[in-house]
A and B are shown apart, each in its own frame.
Chain A
Amino acid sequence: MSTNTNTIISLPDQSTARIPKTNFITKENGLLSWLLTGDHKRIAILYLISITFFFFIGGALAGLIRLELLTPQSDLMATDTYNKVFTMHGVIMIFLFLVPSVPATLGNFFIPMMLGAKDLALPKINLLSWYLYVAGGILVIYTMVSGGVDTGWTFTTPLSTHYVNTNVLTTGLAIFIAGFSSIFTGLNFIVTIHKMRCPGMTWFRMPLFVWAHYAASILMVLGTPVLAIAVVLVALERTVGIGVFDPTKGGDPLLFQHLFWFYSHPAVYIMILPGMGVISETISTFSRKRVFGYTAVAFSSVAIAVFGFFVWAHHMFIMGISNYAMLVFSLLTMLVAVPSAIKIFNWTFTLYRGSITFETPMLYSFGFMGLFTIGGLTGVFLGTSGTDIHLTETYFIVAHFHFVMVGGMLMAFLAGIHFWWPKMTGRMYPEKISQLAAVVTFIGFNFTFFPQFILGMLGMPRRYAAYPPEFQVLNVFSTAGATILGVGYLLPILYLTWSLKYGEIAGDNPWQATGLEWQTQSPPLTENFVVTPIMDHEAYDYEWLDQQKAKEVASVG
């Protein structure tokens, strides 16, 4: 590989290189040493395993949805089963995969390392948050085997409180518990970023990955409790009949919408911001340039977090909010496009005149930039109240959301997993097949979700098991694409598992990246660094890295 000039990968001599004998994985053995650990890196691995598990359950449900929609009739499953399948798909993917995906795995692992700290500020709370996540996950599985729930992941009242007889309560409890897991993760990150930075690590020397997580953490800490209270009220309305969402008693179902979307709109930024953090790291590393407009990108994360709290009612344009509210929320919604565009433009300018190489993380990052841009722009269509009234509750929404979340976030997650895999495991993943997987994912994704934009424009509603026959061609396209996409997701799990044993030894810094996490052994020590590092340079300073290397060579020579 090192002879290839089209790559920046520089690996140690494979005949002599060894994985360091002492590292966070080998330090202690036995299941209990993992289940009772306080080490942020081990907790990150626990999270990685559990979210992958739930991702594949959610993915299987998505496969069932696409199979059902292959034909216009509802034939694979009964219509109410279909309702349960898409509900469980949404609940699992959002609360058990997307929300914790990057923060709880990569964030957990790398934020302390990027800051030069030994651990997150509150290791026990970190472990607690994993247990809460698992408890929430088990409850969701219990819900699924004991009959499922069919309200859609939005739990819209009065459907969820008065009409359905499925497991709303256990799902609500699961979300409540998983929500606290997310609150504790966010809280831990904020405290760590404020109080645990190493000497010299000023706010504007932090990697943008950390800034993105800081912004997402603000949303987790301020938004999630509102979801918690909304879920509690739904539970009380269902069991006791308190009337707060019940119009016959003077309550207002719209209040639920306000409370729910006050969290659930910021929640999509909880999901996407950490992904944007990943992209900042990969784009810089694989174009050998400091991120263009570092400060602007850092503040755009915070701006997304702040604006994100003032746009929730755009989910309610057809639900009877006033025209003035529509006007204001429509305008505020479009404001979010500004910081998002700042990011995309700055990444593009980073690429400009950079020495770009096309390793797998970079391919996924390109996928992110393209698909997120489409997803973001169609968001403007939906934020415009006039077009929203035509497009809402159609497949256009489904496509928009999946472009942002699957095309954006999942691509970013995979970019991050590949990018930091050598650091986490000490071994490289196989490059060629992973590049193939990235391309397959991109193609499969577009085949799956692009037809859904057209379906939505033509008026095919979401959440129905049957549809008029004229929509079949596009649905067949979509289902075929989903098959390709499925292959794209199965490949990484296979070759990444393979690489745990057979991958090439990665060495400390295979990408020649500048972050502090790359200046220590891979896999890292439990304490992360032998001595507390001192940050004496700006983030993404490739000249500093070259000087370090020159020094090393001089001292060895």
Chain B
Amino acid sequence: MSDSTAIAHEAHHEHPPYQRHHFETVEQQADATNFAMWLFLLTEIMFFGGLFTAYLIYRNWYYPAFVAASHQLDIRWGTANTAVLISSSFTMAMGVWCSETRRKSGLVLCLVLTFLLGLVFLGIKTIEYSEKIEKHHVPGFHYSLNSFLNPDSDEAAKAAGDKPLPLDMARHTELYFFLYFAMTGMHALHMIIGIAILGYMIFRARAGAYTTGHVTFVENFGLYWHFVDIVWIFLFPLLYLISRHAN
């Protein structure tokens, strides 16, 4: 920092060290960064919005294919993951509270728990993805229509009581799986980024960075984490639930 800014700082009243020079007050800084985070989440909504639009259109067009394909998802894993994510949102919210009330060990614990729950979510997702790979349900890579043309040969389809689909409709299950992978994949990518940032935050929190009154970073990350959670709250019913009993 050069001399003139240092002088400018002395001329004002005392600032806490985390206040950037161009803000008048700490409140203004916190306000501005929070607002920026909300705006960023808005752009994220628009980003996911494109995929949701594609999903809604193709679901309307190829309803039977989407129903049959959604029966291939394991609702137990989906429910488990929903529970995991909601718990992680809870631990994250507790983390923000710990940061606000300056509880350092509590904050570290909460962040570690959130980190672990995030990993559990990704682990379960990996199991689900590998099932799709085994069944050749990955679009573009030796995609197999077997589960939809001969539902009796497929356990999940049989359990759901699927009727065989005509070939041209069965082919559209590939679109469902593409959207499944694109939407959950994009969501998982956001989880991975979040987990990476969490790792950094745990490291910083142990050094006491977030328990001195400067909670904006933890708060904003909390917003991000809850947002990623909420995306899943929309994905879970759209992909797993709404076609459960439809045939």
Contacts and interface: CB of A to CB of B under 8 A. Distances in A.
A229 B185 CA distance: 13
Interface string A118-140: 11011101000000000000000
Interface in A198-230: 221-226, 228-230
A52 interface: no
A527 B5 CA distance: 8
Contact of A255 (B48, B57, B178): B57
B174 interface: yes
B161 interface: no
Contact of B43 (A27, A222, A242): A222
B242 interface: no
Given A236-B182, A250-B171, A225 B33 contact: no
Given A226-B46, A229-B50, A244-B179, A119 B22 contact: yes
A313 interface: no
B175 A244 contact: yes
A243 interface: yes
- Size category, A interface: 35 or more
Interface stretch (A188-196, A379-387, A414-422): A188-196
B24 interface: yes
B192 interface: no
Contacts, number: 118
A242 B46 contact: no
Contacts of A191: 32, 35-36, 39
Contacts of B22: 117-119, 123, 196, 527
Interface string B146-175: 000000000000000000000000011011
Contacts of A122: 32-33, 36
B80 to A, nearest CB: 27
Given A195-B35, A527-B8, A243 B175 contact: yes
A440 interface: no
A105 B67 CA distance: 51
A532 B23 CA distance: 11
A20 interface: no
B61 interface: yes
A249 B43 contact: no
A249 B50 contact: no
A121 B42 contact: no
A27 B139 contact: no
A80 interface: no
B24 A225 contact: no
B51 A229 contact: yes
Scoring B2, B22, B31, B61 by chain A CB atoms within 10 A of each residue's CB, the highest score goes to B22
Interface in B1-41: 2, 4-5, 8, 20-22, 24, 28, 31-33, 35-36, 39-40
Contact of A250 (B8, B46, B58): B58
B46 to A, nearest CB: 4
Interface string B58-90: 100110010000000000000000000000000
Given A222-B46, A225-B47, A244-B175, A195 B182 contact: no
A230 B54 CA distance: 10
Interface of B: 2, 4-5, 8, 20-22, 24, 28, 31-33, 35-36, 39-40, 42-44, 46-51, 53-54, 57-58, 61-62, 65, 139-141, 171-172, 174-175, 178-179, 182
Given A123-B22, A243-B140, 4 more contacts: A196-B32, A222-B42, A244-B179, A527-B22
Interface of A: 22, 27-28, 117-119, 121-123, 125, 183, 187-188, 190-192, 194-196, 221-226, 228-230, 233, 236, 240-244, 249-252, 255, 258-259, 526-527, 532
> Across chains A and B, which 4 residue pairs bring their CB atoms closest together, nearest first?
A229-B50, A119-B22, A225-B47, A118-B22
